[in-house]
Structure 1
Amino acid sequence: MSVSVNPTGPTSAEITWESGDDPRGHLARALQSDQLAHALEVLGDSDSRSDAGPADAALSAAMHTFTLARLLERRATVQVVRLRDDHGLSWGQIASALYDDPERTSSVRRLYDSGRRNLGV
């Protein structure tokens, strides 16, 4: 995937991709539905409650962030399948990369099994 994120200033960036880079429309939907905006807002949040806003706006932001997080989790499990099946990496190599602990192979195997289910295999 050739998605580019280029800083355009100290607090701004430009995201670009080709239409072939988003065949399922995940990127477009994440932008159009404000999922990405809400998720980035949460990343930058200082956990301050002073500007929480109305409950319905906070609930909407949480829903968008959670939906994007679930999608990313599913896509990450598919990446584990690709690392194992396409690249031939060992369970320990993947565990080391994901968890900084090569002994967490059972966690990686669970991700792998979930990824295969997500792929319909």
Structure 2
Amino acid sequence: MSVTVTKTAGHKAEITWGQGDDPHGYLARAVEGDQLAYALEALGGATVPGNEDQALLAARHTTALARLLQRRAVAQVVQLRDVHGLSWRRIAEVVLEDKDKQSAVRRMYDSGLRGTEN
């Protein structure tokens, strides 16, 4: 993995990536547009900002990044099946942590095939 997250000290980390790691600019936009910061705050359990506009902005950025991550996860399922030839059972076991959720993985796969961004 060429994108690296390095814990530097205390509650600090540094994220680095090369141009080849972000061909669509998703990483750069997530960082520069504050999506990543708001999503990390939400992940950490931070309370919603008291200011209504800030609260709405935080929710918008977190949700936008979550949608993008869901699309990228679906693209990974397509690659696991088509490139690596993994079984539905194996993909479900690892991705959804339940080997019996093969139909859910197949729906993800079908969604990925219909999508335009893989």
Hey, what's the Cα distance between the residues in 2 that align with 1:76 and 1:30?
16
Task: Tell me the amino acid that sits aligned with residue 101 of structure 1.
Answer: D
Number of equivalent positions: 118
- TM-score, structure 1 normalization: 0.91
- 2:9 aligned residue: 9
1:24-39 mapped onto 2 (5 Å cutoff): 24-39=24-39
Hey, what's the Cα distance between the residues in 1 that align with 2:32 and 2:21?
16
Hey, what's the Cα distance between the residues in 2 that align with 1:12 and 1:104?
37
Describe the shift of the 1:30–1:14 C-alpha distance in structure 2 as closer, same or farther (beyond 3 A). same
Task: Tell me the amino acid that sits aligned with residue 40 of structure 1.
Answer: L
Q: CA deviation at 1:120?
A: 6.8
RMSD: 1.6
Does 1:62 pair with 2:59?
A: yes
- 1:107 aligned residue: 104
Q: Which runs of 5+ in 2 are unaligned?
A: none
Q: Which runs of 5+ in 1 are unaligned?
A: none
- TM-score, structure 2 normalization: 0.94
Once the two structures are aligned, what percentage of the paired residues are identical?
57
